[in-house]
């Protein structure tokens, strides 16, 4: 019964948080739409990002209130909230997004990630994502060149204000079935997709010179969103490795240059092998009694 009450409280807190912050965002979103001048958009973007940061802070508050999660977080010291970063992470659960926002809050700028185009029509939050310049991607019915060009145009907007761009390189949440279907060479990961991060690097490279290579692990198993709401997430491990982005990747042509494509794929696969070994160690560690 207590878990149910916690879940209801957290769900209400999350909903109210979304509605209040969205209402405050709406006037600035309309300004961006009606007055697409660079100076106006820069001011509006800073206000919108500030409101989004407060949204994350309030979510962290209810997560702390309903749960007694043990957080093992390493590698966030020394990061800057006024810098530009690319961030890649493994992906196991919808909970990952709130975990990343909680862990990086105050350490890096507000996190923005690639979304399917259809999600722009999600009530309330779809408009908020648009106002915050989240990059929306068409994943079907278009060529790789067209999709990458859309990603490039979206990422260009991030040059105006400090931003952290997330790319879940696996493209979907991990499951044993997907892992088997892919015949993935990694034990705990799906094969990484390179196109989105290659475009982000090419667009932001002179600003974002660091890749935050993030490994998320749930020693008790990937949680559902209800388990997060009801305070049942016992342990979360987040390890962050700040990796310099090779300068040669900034001006590379992912679509037209096969040799460049191979080099960036080799770089990402090396990071993925290290991540797989790290997950081996974290998940093999004995569980402690609650």
The two beta strands, 164-167 and 85-89, are: parallel
Output the DSSP codes for 138-160.
Answer: --SSS-HHHHHHHHHHHHHGGGS
Between the two ends of the chain, the Cα-to-Cα distance in Å is 19
pTM of the model: 0.88
Query: Tokens 């090419």 sit at which residue?
Result: 202
In this model, does residue 145 exceed pLDDT 70?
Answer: no
208 confidence band (pLDDT: 50, 70, 90): confident
Both tokens assigned to 71: 């957080």
Both tokens assigned to 51: 């409101």
**What is the Cα–Cα distance from 210 to 272, expressed in whole angstroms?**
16
In this model, does residue 216 exceed pLDDT 70?
Answer: yes
290 confidence band (pLDDT: 50, 70, 90): very low
Q: What integer best gives the mean pLDDT of the chain?
A: 86
Least confident of 63-72, 154-163, 192-201, 270-279: 154-163
Q: Which of 114, 100, 118 is nearest to 237 (CA)?
A: 100
Higher-confidence position of 172 and 251: 172
Question: What does the pLDDT average to over 99-112?
Answer: 93
pLDDT in tens, 229-273: 999 999 999 999 999 998 888 777 776 778 888 899 999 999 999
pLDDT at 149: 66
Query: Tokens 């080799």 sit at which residue?
Result: 266
Question: What does the pLDDT average to over 55-78?
Answer: 93
Question: What does the pLDDT average to over 174-192?
Answer: 94
The CA distances from residue 214 to 74, 243, 269, in Å, are 10, 10, 14
Which contacts of 141-145 are long-range, i.e. CB under 8 A and separated by 24 or more positions? 144/195, 144/255, 145/255
3-state secondary structure of 212: strand
Residue pair 113/169 in contact by the 8 Å Cβ criterion: no
């Amino acid at each position: 019964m207590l878990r149910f009450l916690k879940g209801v409280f957290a769900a209400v807190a999350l909903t109210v948080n979304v509605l209040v912050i969205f209402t405050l965002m709406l006037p600035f979103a309309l300004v961006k739409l009606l007055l697409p001048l660079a100076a106006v958009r820069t001011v509006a973007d800073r206000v919108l990002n500030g409101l989004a940061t407060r949204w994350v802070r309030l979510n962290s508050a209810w997560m702390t209130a309903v749960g007694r999660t043990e957080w093992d977080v390493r590698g966030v010291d020394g990061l800057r909230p006024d810098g530009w970063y690319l961030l890649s992470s493994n992906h196991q659960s919808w909970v990952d997004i709130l975990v990343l926002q909680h862990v990086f809050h105050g350490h890096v700028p507000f996190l923005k990630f690639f979304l399917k185009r259809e999600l722009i029509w999600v009530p309330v939050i779809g408009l908020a994502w648009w106002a915050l310049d989240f990059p929306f991607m068409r994943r079907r019915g278009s060529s790789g060149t067209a999709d990458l060009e859309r990603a490039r145009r979206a990422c260009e907007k991030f040059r105006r204000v400090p931003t952290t761009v997330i790319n879940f390189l696996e493209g979907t949440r991990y499951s044993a079935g997907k892992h088997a279907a892919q015949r993935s060479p990694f034990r705990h990961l799906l094969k990484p997709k390179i196109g989105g991060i290659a475009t982000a690097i090419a667009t932001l490279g002179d600003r974002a010179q660091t890749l935050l290579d993030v490994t998320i692990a749930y020693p008790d198993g990937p949680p559902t969103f209800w388990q997060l709401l009801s305070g049942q997430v016992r342990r979360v491990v987040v390890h962050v490795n700040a990796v310099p982005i090779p300068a040669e990747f900034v001006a590379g042509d992912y679509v037209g240059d096969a040799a460049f494509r191979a080099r960036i794929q080799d770089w990402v696969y090396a990071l993925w092998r290290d991540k797989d070994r790290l997950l081996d160690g974290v998940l093999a560690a004995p569980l402690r009694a609650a």
